[in-house]
Amino acid sequence: MELSVGDVVMPGDRVKDVDSKDNQQKIILGPGLRTDGEKVYACKAGILKKRMAVYYVDSHQKRYVPSQGENVVGVVTQKAGDIFKVDIGASETASLSYIAFEGATKRNRPDVQVGDIVYAKLLVASKDMEPELVCVDSFGKKGKLGILNPTGMYFTCSLNLVRKILNKNCPLLRLLSEELKYELAVGMNGRIWIQSKASVENIVAVANAILAAEYTAPSDLQALCVSVVKSLAQLK
Residue 66 lies in a domain: no
Q: How far apart are the first and last CA of the chain?
A: 57
Q: How many domains does the chain have?
A: 3
Mean pLDDT of 42-55: 80
Write down the pLDDT at residue 210: 93
pLDDT in tens, 136-184: 988 878 889 999 999 899 999 988 889 889 888 888 998 888 888 899 9
- 3-43 residue pLDDT tens: 677 788 888 888 876 655 445 567 778 778 888 777 888 88
Q: Which pTM was predicted?
A: 0.77
Q: Where residue 190 sits, what CATH number does that domain have?
A: 3.30.1370.10
pLDDT in tens, 178-199: 888 899 999 999 999 999 887 8
Last residue of a domain, one of 102, 120, 147: 147
Per the domain annotation, does 63 fall within a domain?
Answer: no
- Domain of residue 178 covers 153-235
